[in-house]
Structure 1
């Protein structure tokens, strides 16, 4: 059975324990990292988190899609999607 994902509160508490600091500073650090990643990826850049993976933005071209309920074909405009490539080290630790 799948385990529930870690919440932000749990992540902040674990980060505070690892950093040997209080939860307020750990929360600020997490918010700062999230903000930096968002700014960089929104600007078209990429962020590599060593041992975790690379977060980047990819452009998808305009394409024809089908509405599954009606079968109607429609044209969808080009858009951007955020992707993440997982680091080999993380994959190996999960599969070990």
Structure 2
């Protein structure tokens, strides 16, 4: 599923909202998550899961083709931990 599929699905479920209104809501939702993660925070959606940021230190890696040592910079990556309800639905096939 891509963003436009999500917008279409929400618009279909809510005939009182226009496509542009649904698009604005989805965009605001994603922006709020990214803004909170950028601030070093955590976003927890009860029953769905939690988004957080994991930091990785700088290290020396290897180029798989040449075997040459390569410097890999420190970085932060988003991390998602699914909630119990999501895991249950996923594993039960519901």
Extract structure 1 runs of 4+ deviating beyond 6 A. Answer: none
User: Which residues of structure 2 form unaligned runs of 5+?
Assistant: none
Superposed CA RMSD in Å reads 1.4
1:15 aligns with 2:15: no
What does residue 70 of structure 2 align with? 74
Matches within 5 A, 1:1-96: 6-20=1-15, 21-96=17-92
Number of residue pairs the alignment of both structures matches: 91
Q: TM-score, normalised by structure 2?
A: 0.85
User: Which residues of structure 1 form unaligned runs of 5+?
Assistant: 1-5
CA distance in 1, matches of 2:58, 2:48: 31
Q: TM-score, normalised by structure 1?
A: 0.84
